[in-house]
Amino acid sequence: MPVSPLLIGKHIAMVVRQFSPHGGLELYTHKLVEGLLLSNLKVTVICEENKSEFKHHNLQILTYGEMERPGTDGLARDERFRYAFRNSKILLQRHKGEFDLIHSQHLPCPEPDVVTFHNHSVRRLSSVGETWEKLLNESKIALAKRYKARNTFDKYLMDNALCRVFVSQVMKEDYYQVFGADEKDPYVIAYPGASTNTDYSTITPVEESEFTFVFSGRGFRKKGLDILFRACQILKKQGQKFKLLVTGVRDRLELKIRAKWLGIEDQVEFLGFVTDIERIYARAKVLVLPSRVEPFGMVPVQAMQLGLVPIVSRACGVSEVLKHNEDSLILEDHLDPSELASLMRTLMFDDQMRINLSNNARLAVKNINWQHTLEATLEAYEKALSTPRKTPVAAVALADYARGFDEQES
C-alpha cells in the first residue's frame, strides 16, 4: 500500500519478546512486520528469541543471544522485565542512529517512540471485578513484586511513547485513566486481524447430539469461566440439555470439583490445552467468552470463521467490532450469570436466529483484517514523527522509571 511521504524509506526497530507467527501478541507483531515490509519500510526485529522462518531483503533480526543468559526460563516475572530492558538497551545502543523509530510491542526498552499495548493495566480487575476481587487485586499491586514491576514499566512506556497504540478502545480508556494521561496525548486504535495460518476450509463441522457451547481461555475468573459455570447451572435447573467444551485452562481437579458442586459435571467436558482448537470449534455451535479482562479477544473472531456465533461480554475489546443481534450476542453485565444464561438459551431455542447470526458472523469477520492494523500503525508512526519530546528521555524518564529495570546492570 502507498505510504505517507513522511514514512518513505524509514527504518523501524520492532522490539518484541519473541518473533513468531504463532500466538496472540506474536502473531500480531509478525503480521504487522510483514505489512510494513510490503509497504517498503525497513524493519529490524529486536527480540529474545526468533521462531520465524520469514525472510525479506529489508528485514533484519537481532536476538539477545548469549549477552546475558539464554532466556527468561527460571526468572521471576519482575526480573523478566529487567532482563528485557537491559538486553534491548544493549542492542539499541549498538545500533544507535540506525533507526528512525523504535516500536515496542509492550516490552520494556529505552526511549520507545511508539508502544503497542497488548494487555490491560494491572489495575483493570480493580474496576471490573467483584468486590473481593478488587480488594485482592489492590493488595497484589501494593505487595507483589511482579505487579509493582509491571505497573512501573507500563508507566514508563506510557510516559515516554510519542504515540500509543491500543488493540481496543476499552484498553485505551483503561490506560489513560490509570496513568492520568491527557486525552490530547497521541494514540491510535489498531485492532488485530482475524486471519491466522490455519486453512479453515479443511475443517468439517461435527454434529453433536446435544446443543454444544465452547469456551477457550487460560483464565478462570478473568475469562469469566466462573460466570459461565453459573449460567450453565441455571440452564441445567431449567431442564435444558446441552454440552460445554472447555479448552485452554488446565484440566485442574478444582475445576471438576466446582462443576460437580454446581451440579453440571455431566454437561462439562474438560479438554485442557489443545493444538488443534479448530477441530474443537467444529463440534460447537456457539462460542462463549464472558471475560472480565480481555484487551481484544482473538478466540471469538477465529471461531466466527467457522460460523460459530460468539457471545462475548461488553468488557471484551472484540465487542467493539461486533454488532449485537447481527453477528453476535453481547453480554452487557459480565458478572451476571442470569443474563448470560438468557443469551445462551435464546440461541438454543431460536434456530433461525442462530443460523442468521452464524452467516453474518462469517461475513463480518472478513472485515476484521490485518490491513486495518497496518494502516492504524502507520498513522501512529506519522504522529510519533510529528510529535517532539517534551523532555529528553535519558535525562528524566530513565532516572525516574528505569532504575528498577537497570539496577542489576552494574
pLDDT on residue 409:
44
pLDDT-derived band at 404 (thresholds 50, 70, 90) equals low
Are 158 and 181 contacting, i.e. CB atoms less than 8 angstroms apart?
Answer: yes
- In contact, 15 and 105? CB cutoff 8 Å: yes
Contact 340, 307 (CB under 8 A): no
The predicted structure's pLDDT at residue 405: 57
Strand partners, 357: none
Is residue 147 located within the same domain as residue 226?
A: no
pLDDT for 399 equals 45
pLDDT score of 408: 47
Mean model confidence pLDDT for the chain = 91
Residue 65 forms part of a structural domain: yes
- Which of 10-19, 208-217, 247-256 comes out lowest in average pLDDT? 247-256
Do 303 and 376 fall into the same domain? Answer: no
Domain closes at, from 367, 382, 398:
367
> Same domain, yes or no, for 103 and 83?
yes
Which carries the bigger pLDDT value, residue 188 or residue 201?
188
pLDDT at 111 over 50: yes
275 and 165 within one domain:
no
Helix axes 370-385, 25-38, angle to 10 degrees: 70
pLDDT value for 159: 92
Enumerate the β-bridge partners of residue 247: 216, 272
- Mean pLDDT, residues 282-290: 96
- In the block, cell 537481532 appears at 62
Q: Answer for the pair 311, 343: CB distance below 8 angstroms, yes or no.
A: yes
Domain CATH for 260: 3.40.50.2000
How many whole angstroms separate alpha carbon 11 and alpha carbon 145?
36
pLDDT given for residue 355 in this prediction: 97
Residue 21 has pLDDT above 70, yes or no: yes
Residues 275 and 133 in one domain: no
**Cα-based distances in Å from 225 to 84, 113, 289:** 32, 37, 8
Q: Are residues 382 and 248 in the same domain?
A: no
Q: Which tens digits make up the pLDDT trace of 127-174?
A: 999 999 999 999 999 999 999 999 999 999 999 999 999 999 999 999
pLDDT at 66 (0 to 100): 59
- Confidence check: pLDDT of 208 > 70: yes
pLDDT at 395: 42
Confirm if 116 and 188 have CB atoms less than 8 A apart.
Answer: no
pLDDT digits (tens, 9 = 90+) for 309-326: 999 999 999 999 999 999
Q: Indicate whether 240 and 318 sit together in one domain.
A: yes
Q: Identify which of 7, 399, 377 has the alpha carbon closest to the alpha carbon of residue 186.
A: 377
Q: Are residues 265 and 168 in the same domain?
A: no
- For residues 203 and 306, give the distance between their C-alpha atoms in angstroms, rounded to a whole number: 8
Beta bridge partners of 331: 313
Report the alpha-carbon distance of residue 247 to residue 357 in Å, rounded. Answer: 23
The pLDDT of residue 195: 72
Q: What is the per-residue burial (b if ≥16 Cβ within 10 Å, else e) of 140-178?
A: ebeeeeebbbbbbbbbbbbbbbbbbbbbbebbbebbbeb
* pLDDT for res 36: 97
DSSP string computed for 275-322: S-HHHHHTT-SEEEE--SSBSS-HHHHHHHTTTPEEEEETTBGGGGGS
pLDDT at 345 over 50: yes
Pairwise CA distance, residues 331 & 328, whole Å: 10
User: Tell me, what's the pLDDT at 346?
Assistant: 97
Q: How confident is the model at residue 327 (pLDDT cuts 50, 70, 90)?
A: very high
Whether the per-residue pLDDT at 356 is higher than 70: the answer is yes
Measured CA angle at 319 (ends 314, 321), to 5 deg? 155
Do the domain assignments include residue 18? yes
Confirm whether 2 is domain-assigned: no
User: Among residues 292, 291, 336, 290, which one has the least CA distance to residue 124?
Assistant: 292
Is residue 3 one of the residues assigned to a domain?
Answer: no
Tell me which residue range forms the domain holding 36.
11-193+370-406
Count of domains forming the chain: 2
| pLDDT class of 297 with cuts at 50, 70, 90 | very high
DSSP classification of residue 217 = -
Question: For residue 363, with 0-12 CB atoms within 10 Å meaning exposed, 13-18 middle and 19 or more buried, which class applies?
Answer: exposed
Q: pLDDT per residue over 224-271, tens digit each?
A: 999 999 999 999 999 999 999 999 877 678 889 999 999 999 999 999
| Residue 1 counted as domain residue | no
Residue 263 sits in the same domain as residue 291:
yes
Residue 279 has pLDDT above 60, yes or no: yes
Residue 161 has a pLDDT of 95
Local confidence band at 70 (pLDDT 50, 70, 90 cut-offs): low
The verdict on 266 and 179 lying in the same domain is no
Instruction: Give Cβ neighbours of residue 326 (< 8 Å, ≥ 6 apart).
Output: 357, 360, 364
Per the domain annotation, does 243 fall within a domain?
Answer: yes
Across residues 202-215, what is the average pLDDT? 85
Q: Considering the domain boundaries, does residue 116 fall inside one? A: yes
Mean pLDDT of all residues in 79-93: 91
Provide CB contacts within 8 A for 20, sequence distance 6+.
26, 27, 30, 49, 50, 51, 52
CA distance linking residue 293 with residue 123, whole number of Å:
10
Share of the chain above pLDDT 90, in %: 76
Alpha-carbon span 101 to 20, nearest angstrom: 21
Is residue 273's pLDDT more than 50?
yes
> 114 and 181: one domain?
yes
- Same-domain check for residues 151 and 237: no
The reply to whether 4 falls in a domain is no
